[in-house]
Structure 1
Amino acid sequence: MFTHEQIASFSDLEHRLYNYVIKHIDQVIYMRIRDLANETHVSTTTILRFCQKLDCDGFSEFKVKLKMYKEKQTDQQSIISGDTSLTEFLERTLTQDFQEKIETIASVLAEAKRVVFIGIGSSGILAEYGSRYFSGLKKFAFYIKDPFMPIHEQYIEESVTIVLSVSGETESTLNQVNQFKQEGSTIVSITNHADSSLAKLSDYHLAYYVSNEFLNHTNLTTQIPVVYLLERLAKATYQRMDV
């Protein structure tokens, strides 16, 4: 509801109003405009101008949007027990189809000259872990955590790129994958859903399907399935390598 651009456009009085609203959402959604004006020591005109900057036609619409914003924040702050999601994931990985998919990808990885890992945020941390794990099993691998790093053909010649992304919709990651794909790298993606844009761009894809978790806009979706998939792929790849 409150974007960076909107907050940057506030005057000093509007910033005072914004700070009060954020700290007293439960009270503001039931206030009259004159009550809010008295509490914040600003005019009703200032409040209406504040509402307009938030794309609201008036104070009534602002209170409706504020209530929806509060409910959304409450939903995002609920922490889910990961036991059920993890159990369901492990049950899915034991199916023959899923294991055959892993074995197929491992065969491709075994033939590759190098393996490149990419990801940002928590996925970038796991990309580093994946490259280290593969290297420990005698498969040359490295990771790139900067989505804007210049890529040259010689870096990814005869390579397989493993892309990690929870949503599969991060724009900078998608742009990077397009560049790798155009340079001839085989794309393997690991995301939470098979219908993501990243999955559709990939030559091979693994989805782990666990419940999304957010706290204060931070994505806290469990990454245990990703660790399992990386280690499973690395070991299956090693078994196919001529070492």
Structure 2
Amino acid sequence: MLDRIRASITSLARAEQRVAKLVLSDPRVFANTPISELADRAYVSKPTVVRFCRSMGYDGLSDFKLKLAGSVSEGVPFIHRNVDADDSTSDVLVKVVDNAVAAFLKYRNDASTIAIERAAEALAATHKTGRRVEFYGAGNSGIVAQDAQHKFFRLGVSTVAYSDGHMQVMSATLLGPGDCVVVISNSGRTRDLMDACDIARKNDATTIVITATGSPLASAGQIHLAADHPEGYERYSPMVSRLLHLMIIDVLATTVALRIGGGRLQPLLREMKNNLRTKRYA
């Protein structure tokens, strides 16, 4: 987060640059200082402080402070280290685990809560009206789509997952207003997924995309949930991206479950667990 501010400082307006320098001078103090005092210290207005936070891609001062506090707290550094051919088993273990943890923490600090809320509201609204929620993915992302279908199915949502390009295009053709499709892609450049997303959007279905910022798919969907990480998936299978996408699905499923409400959902989940007990050995 601090590296991003340093890299962006020259492109900011002069007043916002003063706010950026204030952040970099002591991030921990900035995260715990009221906006009026921050404005005074930077010799800017309070709206300028908020504009700076939004210029950096955050939803406002509160969101910026929350992510800033997390990024400067003690713990795992946000570093991605590639696995090398001569690494020992212990090196591989540490690098793979650290890469996953670092990606999770980076997402926690960078994610747009506004985008997540928009996606959760769209999915909850689709469930409320009894319309369809569909998940599309290819390759590793197809597995994530199946996991998403399983999680939302348990919430009583009418949902299906497709990993075949032809099925995605055919199903997207049948979607309409009130339906919702979630397209998952690591690269954001898979042609079948782009085609299905375009068809669904033309049919007035809500399109949510979980993919890398700046990719064609990111701009094709109505709601973009950014999943950015430094993984070199050209060398190895995209492990971190799959875990990151699974975590985003978990966040979505949890926020949607809260919007559905526990009045009917909790008894349904309890009954489901009771019915599954006969499938296990005592």
Place the TM-score, normalised by the shorter chain, in its bin: 0.5 to 0.7
Q: AA paired with 1:147? A: G
Question: Residue 102 of structure 2 aligns to which amino acid in structure 1?
Answer: E
Aligned pair 1:189/2:203, yes or no? Answer: no
Structure with higher Rg: it is 1
Contact 2:136-2:163 at 8 Å conserved across structures: yes
RMSD of aligned residue pairs (Cα, Å): 2.7
- Compared with structure 1, are the counterparts of its residues 196 and 76 closer, same or farther at alpha carbon in structure 2 (3 Å cutoff)? farther
Report what 1:163 is aligned to: 183
SS at match of 1:148: helix
Q: Give distance in 1, aligned partners of 2:96 and 2:195.
A: 32
Q: 1:199 and 1:95 mapped to 2: Cα distance?
A: 20
Q: Which residue of 1 aligns with 2:229?
A: 210
CA offsets per residue over residues 36-84 of structure 1, 9 Å max, x none?
xxxxxxxxxxxxxxxxxxxxxxxxxxxxxxxxxxxxxxx9986982444
Matches within 5 A, 1:202-241: 202-214=221-233, 219-222=237-240, 223-241=242-260
Say whether residues 1:109 and 2:128 are aligned partners.
Answer: no
Given that 1:120 and 1:145 are in contact with CA atoms closer than 8 Å, whether structure 2 keeps it comes out as yes
Distance in structure 1 (CA, Å) of the matches to 2:196 and 2:248: 22
> Is the partner of 2:181 in helix, strand or coil?
strand
Identity of aligned residues (%): 21
Match of 2:45 in 1: none
Unaligned runs of 5+ in 1: 1-74
Report the CA distance shift for 1:157/1:90 in structure 2 as closer, same or farther (over 3 A): same
Q: Which amino acid aligns with 1:104?
A: R
Distance 1:100 1:82, change over 3 A: farther
Aligned mate of 2:114, from 100, 103, 121: 100
Aligned to 1:32: none
Number of aligned positions between the proteins: 167
Distance 1:96 1:161, change over 3 A: same
- Change beyond 3 A, Cα 1:77–1:107: same
1:192-242 CA-partner distances (Å, limit 9, x unpaired):
x21000001011111222222346x66334211111110110110111125
Partner of 1:55: none
Structure 2 vs 1, CA of residues 82 and 137 (structure 1 numbering), >3 Å: closer, same or farther? same
Q: Which has the higher contact order (CA 8 A, sep 6+)?
A: 1
Give distance in 2, aligned partners of 1:76 and 1:179: 39
**Residue type of the alignment partner of 1:186:** T
Residue of structure 1 equivalent to 2:104: 90
Deviation at 1:160, TM superposition (A): 1.1
The structure that is helix-richer by fraction is 2
Aligned residue in 2 for 1:200: 219
TM-score (norm 2): 0.53
Q: Secondary structure at the match of 1:188?
A: strand
Could you tell me which of 126, 136, 140 is aligned with 1:118? 136
Q: Is the 8 A contact 1:127 1:143 kept in 2?
A: yes
What 5-or-longer segments of structure 2 have no aligned partner? 1-81, 265-282
Using the TM superposition, give the Cα deviation of residue 178 of structure 1 relative to its aligned residue in structure 2, in angstroms.
1.0
